[in-house]
Structure formats: structure tokens, C-alpha cells
Amino acid sequence: MINNPDWKKPKIKPYLHQISLDCIEKLIDCVEQFNKSKINADATFKMQKQALTDEIDDPEFLEFATENFSEIMGYIAQGSLNIRIHREITGKMWFGVGKD
């Protein structure tokens, strides 16, 4: 009997994270609330960071997304809803946008 609960977990880090539509909707909602003066900039940032934290399990993907948040919002502002974070074997990360 195998007693190690991690025995099936892959050792290889994921190389892609797709931002879900649910997360994108939460990010948009935060901006809309801010634009309507329902929340301030600090609350907006906290809510957006929480939406990304709830969305992204991998700490490196999460750090990249929060550090480059304006890029995510730029894609959303352009109408892109198929936003992905990519990681090369070397560890370099970037956003990719697929056809919606």
C-alpha cells in the first residue's frame, strides 16, 4: 500500500496557465466598481489580487500575474478573453493571447 499522498503528483512544473473567464469577469467587475466610485483604488487592488490568488495555484504564475497586472488589464481592455501565462523550460514567463 502506498502511504505517500504526493506519489501521483508530477515533478514537472506546469508550463501554461489559462486565466478563466470567471477570473476575468471578477477583474472587470473591480474596475467597473472603481469607475463608478463605489470602491477606492486600494480596495480595487486588493480585490483584483484576491481574484488572481483564487485563480492561480502556482506561486510563480501568481507572482508573475500580480507583477504584470497592467498587461493583463491591457489585454482585457482590447477585448481579449483567452489570456494565458506561459513558462519556458528556462523559467522565462510571458502572457499569450489566443483567438477568442
> Is the residue at 8 inside a domain?
no
| Structural domains counted in the chain | 1
> Is the residue at 22 inside a domain?
yes
pLDDT, mean of residues 62-90: 93
Digit-coded pLDDT (tens) for 48-57: 999 999 999 9
> Is the residue at 1 inside a domain?
no
**What range defines the domain where residue 81 resides?**
16-97
Q: Please write down the long-range contacts of 91-94, taking CB distance under 8 Å and 24 or more positions apart.
A: 91/60, 93/60, 93/61, 93/64
| Averaged confidence pLDDT in the chain | 88
> Is the residue at 92 inside a domain?
yes
DSSP H or E segment with residue 85 = strand 83-87
> Is the residue at 27 inside a domain?
yes
Please report which confidence band the pLDDT of residue 37 belongs to, taking 50, 70 and 90 as the band edges: very high
Q: Which range is least confidently modeled, 13-17, 19-23, 91-95?
A: 13-17
